[in-house]
Amino acid sequence: MTRRVVITGLGVVSAGGIGIDQTWRTIQQAPPCAQIVELPSARPEDGKFKVFMAPDYRLADVTETYVDGAQLESEGIDQQRDIKHLVAAAGLAIDDAGLRSFADLDLREVGLVVADEHPGVERLARTLYGAVADAATTAPRQAGYTDLSEQIFALNTFLAPYLVARALHIGGECGFVNSACASGLTAIDNAATQIRLGRSPLAIAVASDDPLSSGKFRWFADMHLYAMDGVPRPFDPAASGTVFGDGGAAVVLEDEEHARRRGARIYGRLLGAGFTQDGWRISAPNPASANQGRSIRRALREAALDAEQVDVIVPHGTGIRMIDNYEARTIRHLWPDRGEQPVCLPLKPYVGHNLGGSSLLETALLLKAMAERRVPAVPATASAHGLDLPAAWSSTHIRYAVKSAVGFGGFYGAIVLEAI
């Protein structure tokens, strides 16, 4: 028998705060804004740009870890920003799910799927850019392999799930995924598969990305993909690009019967997922393709739903015009009758673009909205493209929702959620 999968815990680190409740309060009361960061860079003009920054925190202050927080700090976890966010988000999700008070919990049987576009890369880049900047003003010896060997070894992607599993004492099936901006949805689907096949009653999907990269910023800026004023405006005629968002997120997925037996709070049920690839260009969807639409249709087919039953769709919504235009066409094609079109709810104006972690972070926010029966307004955006973007917060029951992602490299993903 195929088991039904529900979500029972949310863990969030974002510009809105630490934890899903603090993040939700912040986006309602005082939505965060991007702030200027200063980073080592090859050129001075590349080292200052705006990012939605998560607040500073100590792991020991936000969640319980199996490996003592002080020990993790001594091992340099504060220099591994994405790994720190992964551990924090997963720990917060475990706490939110009430698993630590569940007497029968055996973390050795809990699955884990980690998503991260490039663990360790930005840390190494900051070190190298710092050496370049120093060389411009002084004449120190340049960093050699001996100095960088640990950071180079840290580029092995298997270390990301290892470090999260070690920190939290998770011992079940463990894996790593990278499908660009669709990575978080891939992680959710892979974790759900463990449960559906009966391998584990519980699995955690967690995703993060380190956006503090002057090199990455310069690449986006040179491609005219970055909003230099720090304001992402998805589907707005004035949109000028995306803005990076610091943080990470995790969800606890659980066999529904297992969740009900232990009296768990249930945020929603995962009904289906769909993924496609167009293999066209690295930074743009193929305008002649319908691959985002195919991924959504696959997810709806698995969920046994018609498109007209969907109440809300959270698109990728980057503020990059080319991608926004593509998504708008997809939505209008799937829902040609404007009266049956779901509310279009891009969430990056609240937390920025967390890249490989973005789709999971936005899934967590969507699940919170479903549980609270509240639809956020879309800030700093004028509705365009014939889409139904909410201009004000409203109270409504969201029964069915879709989260969709359009990733670099032609990766598309979608999941369907149901409120319970």
Positions of the chain with pLDDT lower than 70, given as ranges: 1, 132-147, 380-383
C-alpha 111/C-alpha 278 separation (Å) is 30
Given this model, what pLDDT does residue 115 score?
98
Residue type at position 185: L
Q: What is the 3-state secondary structure (H, E, C) of the chain?
A: CCCCEEEEEEEEEECCEECHHHHHHHHHHCCCCCEEEECCCCCHHHCEEEEECCCCCCHHHHCCCCCCHHHHHHCCHHHCHHHHHHHHHHHHHHHHCCHHHCCCCCHHHCEEEEECCCCCHHHHHHHHHHHHHHHHHCCCCCCCHHHHHHHHHCCCCCHHHHHHHHHHCCCCCEEEECECECHHHHHHHHHHHHHHCCCCCEEEEEEEECCCCHHHHHHHHHCCCECCCCCCCCCCCCCCCECEECEEEEEEEEEHHHHHHCCCCCCEEEEEEEEEECCCCCCCCCCCCCHHHHHHHHHHHHHCCCHHHCCEEECCCCCCHHHHHHHHHHHHHHCCCHHHCCEECCCHHHHCECHHHHHHHHHHHHHHHHHHCEECCCCCCCCCCCCCCCCCCEECCCCEEEEEEEEHHHEEEEEEEECC
Report the largest interatomic distance among the alpha carbons of the chain, rounded to a whole angstrom: 67
Given this model, what pLDDT does residue 199 score?
95
Given this model, what pLDDT does residue 97 score?
97
User: What CATH architecture is 5-119+157-418?
Assistant: 3-Layer(aba) Sandwich (3.40)
Distance of alpha carbon 177 from the chain centroid: 13
Structure tokens at 344: 């279009």
pLDDT digits 0-9 by tens, 50-109: 999 999 999 999 999 999 888 998 888 988 999 999 999 999 999 999 999 888 888 889
Closest CA to 93 of 158, 39, 182, 21: 21
Cα distances from 27 to residues 31, 33, 207, 298, in angstroms, run 4, 10, 21, 32
Q: Which residues have C-beta within 8 Å of that of residue 101, sequence separation ≥ 6? A: none
**Other beta carbons within 10 Å of 95:** 18
Sign of the Cα torsion 326, 332, 333, 335 reads positive
Residue type at position 319: G
pTM over 0.85, yes/no: yes
Instruction: List beta partners, residue 226.
Output: 242
Given this model, what pLDDT does residue 161 score?
96
Closest CA to 185 of 268, 270, 244: 270
Given this model, what pLDDT does residue 145 score?
46
Helix 321-334 vs helix 291-303: crossing angle, to nearest 10? 40
pLDDT digits 0-9 by tens, 152-180: 888 899 999 999 999 999 999 999 999 99
Instruction: List beta partners, residue 176.
Output: 114
Residues 253 and 203 sit within 8 Å (Cβ to Cβ): yes
Given this model, what pLDDT does residue 124 score?
87
Residues 404 and 315 sit within 8 Å (Cβ to Cβ): yes
